[in-house]
Amino acid sequence: MRIFIMGPYGDHNPLDVIAQNVAKADAIGRELVLRGHLVFIPHKMTWGWQLDKRLRREHWIALDNDFLLHWAEVGFRLPGDSPGAEREEELAHAHGMPVYYRIEDVPRSART
């Protein structure tokens, strides 16, 4: 499956907190790849973009939403408060896309 990772990033958080959130998303993404899936980890794609004053939050939200709606087949929601991840989760559900919350619930792919 093509899985979009949803979870806290926190572009207004201190950089060490953002780094921890990116590391958590990366760890889940690696586990899903080992289970035979393809993953998109927006945390990795846009890490540090909040420091580029030419970009606005809307730029990476548009990118994330496009990958979610036009590339992903399912979502995986990491725990934690995140208005952005909540919006992604709602968008996925609104388009009939399943969202997983526990790695053990994601079926293994035939690719493994």
Comparing CA positions, the residue from 73, 65, 70 lying closest to residue 109 is 73
Please state whether the predicted TM-score (pTM) of the whole model is above 0.85: yes
Angle at the Cα of 60 from the Cα atoms of 54 and 62, rounded to 5 degrees: 120
pLDDT-derived band of residue 15, with 50, 70 and 90 as boundaries?
Answer: confident
What pLDDT shows up at residue 11? Answer: 66
What pLDDT shows up at residue 14? Answer: 84
What pLDDT shows up at residue 49? Answer: 77
Angle at the Cα of 79 from the Cα atoms of 26 and 73, rounded to 5 degrees: 65
What pLDDT shows up at residue 98? Answer: 97
Concatenated DSSP letters of 31-72: HHHHTT-EEE-HHHHTTTGGG-TT--HHHHHHHHHHHHHHT-
Tell whether the model's pLDDT for residue 112 goes beyond 70: no
Greater confidence, 109 or 27? 27
* Mean pLDDT across 99-104: 97
pLDDT tens by residue, 44-101: 888 887 788 898 888 888 899 999 999 999 999 999 999 999 999 999 999 999 999 9
